[in-house]
Amino acid sequence: MMKRVAAALAVIGCLATAACSSAARPDLVGVIVTDTPPVTQPGYHRSCAQGEGCVFGPAWSDDVTVRYGHNGCDTRNDMLNQSLDGKTHRAGTHECVVLSGTFRDPYSGAQVDFVKERAYEVQVDHVFPLAVAWDRGAAQWSLERRRDFANDPDNLVVTTRSVNQNKRARTPSSWLPTDAAGRCQYLRTFITVVRTYQLPISTAEAKVASEGLAACSPTGVSV
């Protein structure tokens, strides 16, 4: 196993360890990189419907210990409140339930209008997909840690339904945002999440992240 990991690190120029070259990308220091494909773990059921596993807890639960947890507002509305401009709120919800607003889709760069009547057109994406996390270690986590992961604002992005359905459970080796600035932010978020939760990434993902981040300016715009 150690030989395989060493080989993987060599492929990407020792990007995941500070002890390598001084030219190593600091963005990837502390990231677990492996060329060993993850084993598909049984039991992944996102739904909390009767008879389903509900392995990451109820969708958009406020019962978490990450940012915005226990603030009296569900995670989806927390993310809308964080991401939208010019918001209006449903009366009596303490400015939780968003009725309308606008935002720039960080994945496509498009300006998007949100209205509650068509809420399905705007979705909240998990940058590091839940299904992928399940196979890479989350299956062994406690339910509380999985619930935190599923509702962690640092792993969430407000985007459109069409973009989110195109991305699905894909990672940087097979999907990237079309917007240059959004691509830089996506890669930074992806790496932050894998480092925070100690989730392993493949050599292909590390290569794409390294090359993509190298093309980003300090302000997060591709150069």
Residues 90, 32 share a domain: no
Q: Are 69 and 123 found together in one domain? A: yes
Q: Does residue 222 register a pLDDT over 80?
A: no
Which residues are CB-contacts of 61 (< 8 A; sequence separation ≥ 6)?
74, 75, 147, 150, 151
- pLDDT band at residue 218 using 50, 70 and 90 as cut-offs: confident
Domain holding 33, by residue range, is 1-37+198-223
In a domain, 55, yes or no: no
Cβ atoms within 10 Å, residue 181: 17
* Tens of pLDDT, residues 38-53: 899 999 999 999 999 9
- pLDDT tens digit string along 136-184? 999 999 999 999 999 999 999 999 999 999 999 999 999 999 999 999 9
List pLDDT tens digits, range 79-122: 999 999 999 999 999 999 999 999 999 999 999 999 999 999 99
Helix (H) or strand (E) run with residue 100 in it: strand 98-104
Query: What torsion do the CA atoms of 128, 70, 89, 58 make, to the nearest 10 degrees?
Result: 50
- 212 with 148, same domain? no
My answer on whether 33 and 67 are in the same domain is no
Residue-wise pLDDT for 191-215, tens only, equals: 999 999 999 999 999 999 999 999 9
Asked if residue 22 and residue 87 are part of one domain, the reply reads no
Same domain flag for 30 and 71: no
Banded model confidence at residue 127, pLDDT cuts 50, 70, 90: very high
**181 part of a folded domain:** no
Closest alpha carbon to 33 in 185, 131, 172, 151: 172
Q: How many residues does this entry show for the chain?
A: 223
Is 43 inside a domain boundary? Answer: no
In a domain, 90, yes or no: yes
> Same structural domain for residues 128 and 166?
yes
Same domain, 138 and 70: yes
> Structural domain tally of the chain?
2
- Kindly report whether the global pTM for this prediction surpasses the value 0.95: no
